[in-house]
Amino acid sequence: MKYFYSILFSAATVAAFPSYWAEQLNRAQPGVFESEHFKRAIENLRENRAVEETNCGPVPCAVFNAKEQLVSIEGEHAFMAPVKGKDLRGPCPGLNAAANHGYIPHNGVLDSQQTINGLANAYGMGPDLALGLAAVAVLFDGDITKLEWSIGGPQNVGLLQAGVFGRPRGLSFSHNNYEGDASIGRPDYFLNNGNAYSLDINRFKKAYEKGMADDRYTIDKFRDLFVENINYSIQNNPHYFSSQFAGLIVVPAAYNFVVNFMSNHTAEEPSGAIFKEFFSVTGDYPNFNWIPGHEKIPANWYRRTSTNPYSLPAALLDVAGGWVRDPSAFRLGGNVNGVNTYTGVSLGDLSGGLYNAGDLAKGNNLGCFAFQLQTMYLETNLGLSGLLPNGILGVQQLIAKAVTPLLKKLSCPEVANKQFDFTIFDRFPGAKDVVKM
C-alpha cells in the first residue's frame, strides 16, 4: 500500500507540474522578434536570401552593459571540477561549463526552472529556447516523474520511473533523438562504437583551424564546417543518419551556439583561446589535449545582453539561414547501403502533406515541424501514453501541458492523428542506432 501511494503521489506530480512550462512560455515576451530587423531576416528567407547574422544571431545586440553582462566565476560560481561517480557531464561543453561554475546544479541533473534561470544567467538564452530543449530532453531522455534531465549519463530515479518508464539515458546516450552525426566536436555514433559523447580531438582541431587565419570564429565559417562534416560522414560512415530533430535541428544549431553563446560579447566573435577553454582543450595547435568534464567559462567574459536573449525563433532562423546559404546543409535521411549512398526523405511523404521542403524555412514552420514530429514519434513509437489510467499519468498529458503551449506560441498548424509516417525511416540502418541501456 505504501508503494501504491508513492506511485500515486509521483503520478499526480507529473500530471500537474508541466503547467509551469506553459506559464513560463506565456511570460516570454515577443519584444525583439517584432523588430524590423527580425522581420527583414524572415523576409530574406522567404526570398531565398541568406540571413546576415552577428554573434548575437539574426538580431544584433545593440546594447552593452558591462555590469549586467559580466559572468562571475568567483565565489559561488568559482570553477569546481566534477566528482567522478557523483557529478554527470556530457556531450555539450556549454552545459558542462555551466554546471562546473554552479549556474546549473553541479551534479548535472536539472529541472525546467533551473534550465531557464541557469542558461539565462550564464549565456543569455531565452526562456522559450531553454524550455523547448528541456522539454524534449525530459520526454525522451529524462525522468518523466520528476521532469528532470541529465546533461550527461543516466541519473538516479525513483520506483515509478524505473518500473514503468525505465532508466533515463541522459544526453550522453541520446543518439538520434537529441544527439546526432556530423557534430562540431563529437564523433559519429557508429564510427566510435557507440560513444558519441566524448570529444574527438581531430574534429575539434578541424573546427579550430577555421579561425586560425584571424583568430575569429563566425557563423559563416562554421556553416562551411558543418557541410564539410556532413560530407565526411556520408563518405566514411555507412550508418550516417540525420533524424527529424537531432539531425535536422540540434546538430546544426550546435555550430551556431558556439558563436552565439560562447562569444565574448565585448568583441565580434570568439577567439581561439575562448574556444579551447569552453571545450576543455589545452595545449597549442596541433598538439591539443582534452580534459573530460573540465569545461570552463573564461575570466573577464561577457555573455549576450538580456535585452536580446537568444530565443527559439532566432535559433531556428539561424538554422534555416544555413540552408538558404547552402542547400546541401539540409539533411533529412541517411546512407542506405554503405558509404556514399545518402538518400533523402520527402517531407511531404513523412508529414502526410503538412510540410514540404519549399516552405520549411518560412516563418515558424521549421520549429513546428521539428517539435510536432518529435512528440508524435514519442506517442507512436514508444507506446507510453496508455501505461497508467488517463488523467493520472500519460505522455499525451505531458505533451499537452509541456509542448502544446510551445506549438501554440509558434502558431503551428493542427496535426491529424497518426499523420506522420515514421515507417519511412525503416530503410536507414543508422535510424536503428539507438543506445540500449
DSSP calls for 350-361 = HTTTS--TTTTT
Q: Distance between CA 257 and CA 250 in Å, rounded?
A: 10
Please state, in angstroms and as integers, the Cα–Cα distance from residue 210 to each residue in 91, 357, 431, following that order. 21, 30, 31
pLDDT for position 140: 84
Please provide the size of the chain in residues.
437
Q: Domain locations in the chain?
A: 2-64+126-271+307-432
Q: List the grid coordinates of 43.
A: 523576409
Q: Which among 277, 293, 292 has a CA at the least distance from the CA of 107? A: 293
Residues of the chain with confidence (pLDDT) below 50: 1-21, 24-34, 381, 383-394, 437
pLDDT score of 25:
47
Strand order of the β-sheet with 333-335 is: 241-242, 333-335, 342-344
Which fold would CATH assign to domain 2-64+126-271+307-432? Chloroperoxidase (1.10.489)
pTM of the model: 0.87
